[in-house]
Amino acid sequence: MSGKPALWPWFGGAAFLIAFDQWTKYLIRSSFQVGESISLIGEDLIRLTYVLNPGVAFGLPVPSRTLLLIFGWTAAAALAVYLSILIRRRDALRWPILLFFSGAIGNSIDRTLYGEVTDFLDADFPDFIMDRWPVFNVADSCVTVGVLLVALLVLFDRRPAHSPSPHDLAPGSSAATVSSDDGTRSATSAD
């Protein structure tokens, strides 16, 4: 692989996710009344339920909508910069950051235009956590999948914590210890 990877496919993918999130929210706003619900799978397993969330995740309240807006757009900008860096490095973390970025933009658009986030996916999970999962949307799903990807990357990252390089030697040192394929260690000159 030569040269730097292109950014546009990644940001194009984010644009697709953001557009899909906004399109699904538009369909719900134009087809349902707030509070209206229909079953999709089973009697209660998965429903479409139109709710407006003025707070953050799980409907938790916020002290200031203005601060939430500022935080959302600032986080989105920071994620865009970080995503660009990760893409250039070909870092696996670019996948969940792409999802976080898409989710942050999707819900920030709602807060900017409507003052609240449109949620509509209503799923029942086993009652060991809660009766029903809080109603969510595509942007929320992006963030949730991103969190799961980060957890998988952390759990299954098999890279060594840190391999010494010649740059790690103390000033004035002229040797480093290097491991060979058979597991033996030998000193080599860094000159």
Q: What is the pLDDT of residues 13-70, one digit of tens each?
A: 999 999 999 999 999 999 999 999 999 998 888 999 999 998 877 667 777 888 899 9
| First-to-last C-alpha distance (Å) of the chain | 30
Residues facing residue 39 across a β-bridge: 47
**Cβ partners under 8 Å of residue 136, min gap 6:** 119, 121, 144
Q: Which residue has the higher pLDDT, 96 or 42?
A: 96
Q: Which residue has the higher pLDDT, 62 or 185?
A: 62
d(C-alpha 96, C-alpha 152), whole Å:
10
d(C-alpha 97, C-alpha 143), whole Å:
9
Distances (CA, A) of 42 to 37, 102, 120, 123: 13, 30, 17, 11
Q: Which residues are catalytic?
A: 119, 140
On average, the pLDDT of the chain sits at: 84
Q: What is the pLDDT of residues 107-141, one digit of tens each?
A: 999 999 999 999 999 998 766 666 788 899 999 99
Residue 3: both structure tokens together: 């040269």
